[in-house]
Amino acid sequence: MAKYLMLKHYRGAPASVNDAPMDQWTPEEISAHVQYMNDFAARLEATGEYVDSQALAFEGQWVRYDGEGRPPVTDGPFAETKDLIAGFMVIDVDSHERAVELAGELSAAPGAGGKPIHEWLELRPFLTAPTTVTE
């Protein structure tokens, strides 16, 4: 099994086919989108492929260590940022091909007008420890 992170970008990714921003959707369209996500997660939970998922708030902040005994440096939030992560899902699957298949399916979540978004999702494998050889 390999873990993958599927990132949903609100902005910054290539434009989706149904490119109406979520803040322009009706409450019913938002509910349908969230229900699709919940149903998708429940199906993956039943197959043992679901690990976690979360929607993220728009506000955020950059934080950096600034030396011993000094408070961290912060900057933000960056509401105007080009790249905003709207949420994520972590899956644990048997192959890269299965991860791509699931990401493609998640991309079809409904959006404006109830039509599939066909959004771009960023699919990233978790870094695993290198294999060590002992003699």
Give the pLDDT score at 22.
83
Give the pLDDT score at 41.
97
The two three-digit tokens of residue 33, written as one number: 């989108």
The two three-digit tokens of residue 48, written as one number: 């043992």
Per-residue pLDDT of 35-71, as tens digits, reads 999 999 999 999 999 999 998 887 777 788 888 988 8
Give the pLDDT score at 15.
81
- Element at 8 (helix H, strand E): strand 2-11
Per-residue pLDDT of 104-114, as tens digits, reads 999 999 999 99
The packing angle between helices 96-106 and 27-47, to 10°, is 160
- 33: closest CA among 134, 111, 128? 111
Give the pLDDT score at 5.
95
Give the pLDDT score at 60.
76
What residue segments make up the domains of the chain, in order of their start? 2-125
This prediction has a pTM of 0.80
pLDDT band at 34 (very low <50, low <70, confident <90, very high): very high
Question: Is-contact 25 33, C-beta < 8 A?
Answer: yes
Per-residue pLDDT of 63-100, as tens digits, reads 888 889 888 877 765 555 456 788 899 999 999 999 99
Angstrom CA distances, 84 to 5, 14, 70, 78, 133, stand at 16, 13, 29, 9, 41
2-125 classified as CATH 3.30.70.1060? yes
Amino acid present at 50? Y
- 17: closest CA among 102, 83, 85, 109? 109
- Give 20 or 10, the one with higher predicted confidence: 20
